[in-house]
Structure 1
Amino acid sequence: MSNQPQFRALSLGAGVQSSTLLALSAEGVLPRVDYAIFADTGWEPGSVYSHLDRLEKEIATPAGIPVLRVSSGNIRSDALNPDHRFASMPLHILNKDGRPGMIRRQCTGEYKVKPIKQKVRELLGYPHPTRVPKGVFVEQWVGISTDEFHRAKDADVKYMRNRHPLLDMYWSRADCVRYLTSLGLADTPKSSCLGCPFHGNSQWRHIRDTSPSEWADVVKFDEAIRQGNARANASGSRLLGEAFLHRSRVPLSQAPINHVTAAERAALRIGADEADVLENGVEDGCSPWACRGDSDVLTQDDFGLAT
């Protein structure tokens, strides 16, 4: 039984860290990856799609690294389609008794992890439900820097072994930004869904102030999911409360996104660091194996492809 991977694949979210890994591999600083796999939720910001196109044209293709775009569907459309099973987003909930809550996060498993697993199995020659033989695996690179080392974790299947080269290099996010800047990629965006409930105020403001069409889109979506996703409503499982994109649990069009209010800081008993997260969001975007909402641990039963 060989202890060597069948190939190397980069989980490419097109954010700062994964863009750095792609460039380091393309330049020969790190070994060459065989594939860069981008899981498309169908609802990424336009800036992410533009950056991905540029990465493919200027970095990956000249180095002979194929960029593979995979998808399980459009997360926005699926949430509003009563005929489609929907993997829930971590929406902020206001229960009927006034207590706050959050819907369990399943979107990362369905729209990020699942399509990557499917593509890896296809490349290995063992599409689901064919069993991957024991000892057959790929080395998968995940963009985690030293600032977020606690988010590094193993894959939940034996045919994928996660590696975190930025941790091996002791690179922080600032190191990545400096490196990308030297390549003319200083404007690398955060990678996450346009309407991700984990956005900080600054991300919501950026959408509002720089892209009126995308702002109108998320405001409309926020209004549409007030009673939960369409499939649940159609099946009689209406949400017992109200759902919101913004943590304030008021309509996004009215949410206090200009700053973290003093009242909010006092109510949450938070310090400067926590307030910074509420303002700016977590530094890194949404990675399949390091989502910002990973307090809800994915299991193989969520979206298997485990055999």
Structure 2
Amino acid sequence: MLALSAEGALPKVDYAIFADTGWEPRAVYDHLERLENEIAEPAGIPLLRVTSGNIRKDAIDPDHRFASMPLYILNQDGKPGMTRRQCTGEYKIKPIKKKVRELLGYPYPARIPKGIFVEQWVGISTDEFHRAKDADVKYMRNRHPLIDMGWSRADCVRYLTTLGLADTPKSSCLGCPYHGNAQWRHIRDNSPSEWADVVAFDAAIRKGNARANATGNRLLGEAFLHRSRIPLDQAPIDHVTAAEWAALQQEIGTESPHSEELEQGVIDGCSPWACRGSEITQDDFGLAS
């Protein structure tokens, strides 16, 4: 959407906003710099970076309230579970709303007068039009330009390819539990330092977050980053099942959404208003304090 706006195919936006969790892959930060230098700045579009802090640091800091990730849980009775997801709201949506209020001239807790609002573009394509929703506050009105244009994900990829941006990476935390095996392998095989980082974090959250432990919250099981509920450095990320292999054959169009997610992860990463998960969550693990 930024590129389309910069070239005039869409109206010129006043600002582009990137919500930084503090734990994105290096490739995402490099890509952001490129977007700013090659697309935003030449078009006169300010690219604003906003943040609520570093999610990795916060998760293992006993003095910090942790907005929980959707971690995979193995309960003491052997049954699987998942912690509730609060991270997108805390580290993506919250800082964006804060910046929007500032841009409107009404920082929190000032009351925003009726009729004052921003038009906010959300990059959901026709593949997932059902996820296009209205904003939950009156001072933001969502619009979905890609849907208005009738663009699918494939259309976006083709367009980015013409700009030399075919390698656009997903924006999501380096250690996001929604990663698929392909994403975990990519980190391990291409960035040893980042792989060591996520393996260390996976081990650090095994017994719950630091604050929950420090305050004596009861522990009902173990937490993991990988859906197998096995330590990440031992998880079967190289084992490609028949369903996962089918997911790699996207050109024949026969794969199921579930098998694709096993290999490729949640397809849209963790964009604001777009992160999603499919498993039932539990609130009593002691990870959210």
1:176 match: 156
Partner SS for 2:262:
helix
For 2:210, give the aligned amino acid. Answer: A
Q: Which residue of 1 aligns with 2:265?
A: 281
- Is 1:223 the counterpart of 2:203? The answer is yes
Matched to 2:235, the amino acid is A
Inter-partner Cα distance in structure 1 for 2:64 and 2:29 = 25
Q: Provide the rounded CA distance (Å) in 2 between the counterparts of 1:77 and 1:200.
A: 23
Q: 1:39-89 CA deviation, whole Å, 9 max, x = no partner?
A: 000000000000000000000000000000000000000000000011000
State the alpha-carbon separation in 1 of the partners of residues 197 and 137 from structure 2. 36
Q: What is residue 51 of structure 2 aligned with on the other side?
A: 71
The equivalent residue for 2:222 is 242
Q: CA RMSD in A?
A: 1.9
- Give how far 1:285 is off: 2.0
Give SS of 1:242's match: strand
The aligned residue for residue 70 of structure 2 is 90
Greater Cα offset, 276-285 or 174-183: 276-285
Contact kept, 8 Å, 1:223 with 1:251, in 2: the verdict is: yes
Which residue of structure 2 lines up, in the alignment, with residue 115 of structure 1? 95
Displacement of 1:228 in angstroms is: 1.3
Quote how far apart the aligned CAs of 1:296 are.
8.5
The change in CA–CA distance for 1:140 and 1:264 in structure 2 (over 3 A counts) is: closer
Change (3 A) 1:263 1:165: closer
CA shift, 1:274, in A, is: 1.3
Deviating above 4 A after TM superposition, structure 1's stretches of 4 or more consecutive aligned residues are 262-265, 294-297
Q: Write out aligned runs for 1:1-307 (5 A).
A: 21-261=1-241, 272-293=256-277
Whole-angstrom CA distance in 1 between matches of 2:244 and 2:31: 35
Inter-partner Cα distance in structure 2 for 1:261 and 1:30: 42
Partners of 1:227 and 1:239 within 8 A in 2: yes
Q: Is the 8 A contact 1:245 1:252 kept in 2?
A: yes
Deviation at 1:184, TM superposition (A): 0.8
Structure 2 letter corresponding to 1:278:
L
Aligned mates of 2:260, 2:88 — CA distance in 1: 24
The letter for the 2-side match of 1:239 is L
- Is contact 1:260–1:275 with CA below 8 Å preserved after alignment? no
3-state secondary structure, aligned to 2:159: helix
Sequence identity (%): 81
Tell me if the contact between 1:259 and 1:279 (Cα under 8 Å) persists in the aligned partners.
Answer: no
Under a length normalisation based on structure 2, what TM-score does the superposition of the two structures give?
Answer: 0.90
Decide whether the 8 Å contact of 2:268 with 2:274 is kept in 1. no
TM-score by length of 1: 0.85
The 1:263–1:47 alpha-carbon spacing in structure 2 relative to 1, beyond 3 Å, is closer
Partner of 2:285: none
Q: Distance in 2 between matches of 1:293 and 1:74?
A: 22
Change (3 A) 1:182 1:24: same
For the residues of structure 1 that align with 2:59 and 2:279, how far apart are their CA atoms?
22
Give secondary structure in 1 for the equivalent of 2:16: strand
CA distance in 2 between counterparts of 1:44 and 1:136 reads 33
Deviations 1:126-167 (A, max 9, x none): 111111111111000011011122222111111001111000
Separation (CA, whole Å) in 2 of partners of 1:242 and 1:159? 41
Distance 2:271 2:88 in 1: 8
Distance 1:132 1:203, change over 3 A: same
Change (3 A) 1:151 1:259: farther
SS in structure 2 of the partner of residue 139 of structure 1 = strand
Aligned length, in residue pairs: 272
CA deviation after TM superposition for structure 1 residue 260, in Å:
4.2
Contact in 1 for aligned 2:81/2:280 (Cα 8 Å): no
Which ranges of structure 1 fall in alignment gaps of 5 or more residues? Answer: 1-20, 266-270, 298-307
Matched letter for residue 21 of structure 2 = T
